[in-house]
């Protein structure tokens, strides 16, 4: 047991437990075992044995009589009866009176039971604890169980590795990481002047924006080995395994330095330690081990750790302090130019028509991440194959945007005639309200073919370049547009459907943000009423105001949405003819493009 390293609890603790078990055993179990030897008999047997002078020793207790046979190898007990002549008769039978009848068994057996057995239990517990602690400490002895080795994959350096040129867009991130590549190429240049590289770099951004790719590209550009492991892989069933994996990973990495260690989803282990009872012991130990390893290696030993996360605010501050992950590289969703480049990079891997307009597709796929764009290109190729064509066309790509974002067309979902009419009016309602407010093309395209995602219609929004600021009027118009679908149902059918649930959600979100976040309520001036968490994952927010204010905010939100809803209804009533005409067109053709829409509107 002397190979046990840094046990969490002192050894004495476990021996204490063992000792307690031993004492309890002696107190509770031993008398029971002793009693086993005593056979209970009825009073008649006792009397008969007395008459036959078969009683050896006898002890008269308050509530029972203990006695042995003549040879003394058996002990009996019986209850007490009112028997006045008993003492005389026993005396006459030659029984010996004693105050302590020997109920014990043979000395050898006794020693075995009282000492040897507890000793065995004692040692057993000790062994078990020691093993458990060793596993906890993740020491060498855990290896004999075949556990505790990290699964860090080693990517052998190769010229076929990913380079920065494979990562389209993300120019700022690439620029930031170029320094790391230079350092890995020529650490001496940095050592000379005494500069030390950051040990850890955090790549922060929404899912599918190319964080993993960037990390690989750094390794590829610098031509160094690339170790990669996901944060969730550290969190194992057994406490201590994660820590052991971290230690192992860094041991491997140091041997291969200079190199890149990439930890994906670092939030899986790096979450804030809240110190609450019943917290995740394993995760904290793993995180502590990671911190220890990062502190452990001296500034310039050539191991650079890149980590990716999409919830930077949930990370433990200890991870972010200088000397650990002190540099942060944002990897944002691509802008129009970025999307176009990503599409082009991926289009190189498939056969496409020469006249494909990538800019147009990039514009249509506004808000798509790099991973989604890669998926769009692949879907286009699949679609071309399905149709027996040799090259993917513009149409394939356009249809694929809808497939990736809204799901496949649901071939067998048949809308009733009335439903189809309602959907057509609903979608045109949105578009018409949008068009009338801004006097511009409201959408790229509207289709009313049901999608596997559950959407009954699909509207492809237009995006003209990048847009960083939104005025109050623009947001209000947007809310009105969201309510336009429901407003059309009201104006035309006088009844409403469940089709507007998503619109309602979005309109509410915008209205609430206007009041709580953008200071556009008038009443609250420039006071923030909520804070945003999870910026990269949809952005949940928490209210930071009193209950009264909350009630007031709710009231304001309702007022705001209501006003825009009324405005939308009014626009539709004023343009009822166009609403009918456009809806009829969409109902018949199932698809309407932005140009067709404007042509009908302006005719």
Residues in contact with ligand ADP by CB under 6 A are 167-170, 207-213, 308, 342, 345, 370-371, 374
Q: What is the three-state SS of 378-440? A: HHHHHHHHHCCCCCECHHHHHHHHHHHHHCCECCCCCCCHHHHHHHHHHHHHHHHHHHHHHCC
Place of tokens 């059309």: 488
Distance, in Å, from the CA atom of 65 to the CA atom of 194, rounded to the nearest integer, reads: 93
Distance CA 432, CA 441 (A): 10
The nearest distance, CB 373 to ligand ADP, in angstroms, is 7
Nearer to Zn ion, 264 or 503 (CB): 503
Kindly tell me the burial class for residue 201, based on how many C-beta atoms sit within 10 Å of its own C-beta (0-12, 13-18, 19 or more).
buried
- Shortest distance (Å) from residue 444 CB to Zn ion: 16
User: Residue 39 or 566: which CB sits closer to Zn ion?
Assistant: 566
Q: How far is the CB of 329 from ligand ADP (least distance, A)?
A: 12
- Give the 3-state secondary structure of 258-279: CEEEEEECCHHHHECCCCCCCC
Tokens of 593: 């493009």
Residues in a beta bridge with 75: 38, 68
Name the residue with the smallest CB distance to ligand ADP. Answer: 370
Asked if 231 and 264 count as a contact pair (C-beta separation under 8 A), the reply is yes
CB distance 565 to 510 below 8 Å: no
Of 210 and 594, which has the nearer Cβ to ligand ADP? 210
The option from ligand ADP, Zn ion, none interacting with 219 (CB < 5 to 8 A, set by class) reads: none
Q: Which of Zn ion, ligand ADP, none does residue 200 bind to, with CB < 5 to 8 Å depending on kind?
A: none
Taking each helix axis from N to C terminus, what angle separates 501-516 and 547-574, rounded to the nearest 10 degrees? 130
Spatial distance between the Cα atoms of 130 and 529, rounded to a whole number of angstroms: 54
The item of Zn ion, ligand ADP, none sharing an interface with residue 212, based on CB under 5 to 8 Å by kind, is ligand ADP
Say which entry of ligand ADP, Zn ion, none residue 485 contacts (CB below 5 to 8 A, set by partner kind). Zn ion
Q: What is the DSSP letter of 517?
A: T
Closer residue to Zn ion (CB): 165 or 501 = 501
Exactly one of 341, 372, 427, 476 is catalytic; which is it? 427
- Residues engaged in binding Zn ion (CB under 5 A): 485, 503
Least distance in Å: CB of 312 to ligand ADP? 13
From 173, 194, 177, 193, select the one nearest 185 (Cα to Cα). 177
Please state, in angstroms and rounded to a whole number, the distance separating the CA atoms of residues 39 and 77.
6
Q: Among this protein's residues, is 427 annotated catalytic? A: yes
CB of residue 442 to Zn ion, shortest distance in Å: 13
In the complex with ligand ADP, the residue whose CB is nearer, 9 or 163, is: 163
Cβ of residue 316: shortest distance to ligand ADP, in angstroms?
A: 21
Q: Give the one entry of ligand ADP, Zn ion, none that residue 503 binds, where binding means its C-beta sits below a cut-off of 5 to 8 angstroms depending on kind.
A: Zn ion
Looking at the Cβ atoms of 187 and 208, the one nearer to ligand ADP is: 208
Closest CA to 144 of 134, 153, 154, 152: 134
Q: Which residues are catalytic?
A: 427
């Amino acid at each position: 047991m002397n190979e046990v390293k840094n046990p969490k609890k002192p050894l004495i603790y476990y021996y204490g437990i063992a000792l307690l078990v031993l004492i309890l055993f002696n107190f509770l179990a031993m008398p029971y075992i002793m009693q086993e030897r005593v056979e209970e008999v009825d009073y008649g047997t006792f009397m008969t044995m007395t008459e036959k002078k078969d009683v050896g020793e006898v002890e008269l207790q308050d509530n029972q009589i203990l006695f042995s046979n003549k040879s003394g190898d058996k002990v009996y007990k019986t209850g007490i009866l009112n028997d006045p002549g008993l003492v005389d008769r026993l005396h006459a039978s030659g029984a010996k009176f004693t105050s302590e009848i020997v109920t014990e068994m043979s000395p050898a057996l006794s020693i075995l039971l009282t000492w040897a057995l507890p000793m065995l239990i004692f040692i057993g517990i000790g062994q078990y604890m020691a093993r458990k602690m060793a596993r906890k400490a993740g020491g060498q002895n855990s290896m004999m169980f075949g556990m505790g080795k990290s699964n860090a994959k080693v990517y052998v350096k190769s010229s076929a590795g990913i380079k920065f040129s494979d990562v389209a867009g993300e120019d700022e991130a690439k620029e930031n990481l170029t320094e790391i590549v230079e350092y890995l190429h020529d650490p001496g240049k940095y050592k000379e002047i005494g500069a030390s590289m950051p040990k850890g770099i955090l790549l922060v951004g929404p899912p599918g924006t190319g964080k993993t790719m960037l990390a690989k590209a750094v390794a590829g550009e610098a031509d160094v080995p690339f170790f990669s492991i996901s944060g969730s892989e550290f969190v194992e069933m057994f406490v201590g395994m994660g820590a052991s994996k971290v230690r192992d990973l860094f041991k491997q990495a140091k041997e291969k330095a200079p190199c890149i260690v990439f930890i994906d989803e670092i939030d899986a282990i790096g979450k804030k330690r809240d110190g609450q009872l019943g917290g995740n012991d394993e995760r904290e130990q793993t995180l502590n081990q990671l911190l220890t390893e990062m502190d452990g290696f001296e500034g310039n030993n050539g191991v650079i750790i890149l980590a990716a996360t999409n919830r930077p605010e949930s990370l433990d501050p200890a991870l972010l302090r200088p000397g650990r992950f002190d540099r942060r590289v944002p990897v944002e969703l691509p802008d129009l130019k970025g999307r176009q480049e990503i599409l082009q990079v991926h289009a190189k891997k498939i056969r496409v028509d020469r006249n494909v307009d990538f800019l147009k597709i990039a514009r249509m796929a506004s808000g798509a991440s790099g991973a989604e764009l890669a998926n769009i290109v692949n879907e286009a190729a699949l679609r071309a194959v399905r149709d027996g064509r040799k090259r993917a066309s513009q149409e394939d790509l356009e249809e694929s945007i809808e497939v990736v974002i809204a799901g496949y067309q649901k071939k067998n979902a048949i809308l009733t005639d009335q439903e189809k009419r309602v959907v057509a009016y609903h979608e045109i309602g949105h578009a018409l309200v949008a068009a009338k407010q801004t006097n511009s093309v409201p959408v790229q395209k509207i289709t009313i073919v049901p999608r596997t995602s559950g959407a009954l219609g699909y509207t492809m929004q237009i995006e003209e370049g990048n847009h960083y600021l939104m005025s109050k009027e623009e947001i209000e118009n947007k809310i009105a547009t969201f309510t336009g679908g429901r407003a059309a149902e009201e104006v035309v059918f006088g009844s409403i459907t469940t089709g507007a649930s998503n619109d309602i959600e979005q309109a509410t979100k915008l209205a609430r943000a206007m009041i709580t976040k953008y200071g556009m309520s008038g009443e609250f001036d420039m006071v923030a009423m909520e804070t945003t968490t999870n910026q990269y994952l949809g952005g949940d927010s928490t209210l930071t105001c009193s209950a009264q204010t909350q009630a007031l905010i709710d009231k304001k939100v309702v007022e705001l949405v209501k006003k825009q809803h009324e405005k939308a209804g009014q626009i539709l009533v004023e343009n009822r003819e166009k609403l009918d005409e456009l809806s009829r067109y969409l109902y018949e053709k199932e698809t309407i493009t932005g140009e067709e829409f404007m042509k009908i509107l302006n005719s």
